[in-house]
Structure 1
Amino acid sequence: MSREELAARQAELLEALLSDGAAPSGFDAKRLRVEADVLRDKRRRLVAYLRPDLPEALGERFAPLFDAYATEHPKTTEVRTGQYADAFATWLISRGELAKPRRRWFQH
């Protein structure tokens, strides 16, 4: 298998794991779905840890909204988790799921 073919197979696998893509040939779709769910759950917990204001504000809507965001915007190695959490918050605001934060007029 050439490097190009291997890279294409890896890209298919990542698509299946991070963006609900189809399982590449030779992979068990059910097992990939389980692994994809585990990875999304881990990212959701990290985002909730870094931005506790989000699950607090969203309540039960946090998980399904995060899952929708994570599917549309898979995390890459170039993006730190804190940046990813902030991007999720921005996405929530742009969709009207969260109010725009009020500007702080003074500093402690």
Structure 2
Amino acid sequence: MTDPRTRLAAAQSTLLHALLANGPLPTGFNPTRLQAQSQALRAKRRRVTAALRPDLPERLGERFRELFDAYATTHPRREGVGARTDANTFADWLVTQGHLPKPRRRWWPRPRR
């Protein structure tokens, strides 16, 4: 028999994986409600990303939602990662996947001395 805390931690991990990364549904949960909660959490994360990086939905247009959802299901936010870092990581993912061009390096003139 395993420790109750270990069992609880494993059950919580399974639930989080199902909610945030389209993992298998844990036993004893209503699949319809779990799906609704998963969609709500993803929508909240999408709204926060759009607020922090308004350039992304502007540039992607109608594709923003679809691409964000694809990203979010394969890249659940990790503990300790802030929303701004998450939004920037999504932007980097868009570039590596070829959905956005690589940003050009900014050029600033050197101050004269």
Alpha-carbon RMSD: 1.1
Q: How many correspondences in the alignment?
A: 107
Partner residue, 2:19: 17
Partner residue, 2:70: 68
Within the candidate set 10, 25, 28, 1:26 is matched to 28
What amino acid is aligned across from residue 59 of structure 2 in structure 1?
A
Partner residue, 1:83: 85
Provide the rounded CA distance (Å) in 1 between the counterparts of 2:24 and 2:39: 14
Any stretches of 5+ residues in structure 2 without a counterpart? none
Any stretches of 5+ residues in structure 1 without a counterpart? none
Residue 16 (structure 1) shift: 0.7
Provide the rounded CA distance (Å) in 2 between the counterparts of 1:43 and 1:10: 20
Partner residue, 2:103: 101
Tell me which structure has the larger Cα radius of gyration: 2
What are the within-5 Å matches in structure 2 for residues 18-57 of structure 1? 18-57=20-59
After the TM superposition, which segments of 4 or more aligned residues of structure 1 sit over 4 Å from their partners?
none
Provide the rounded CA distance (Å) in 1 between the counterparts of 2:78 and 2:37: 17
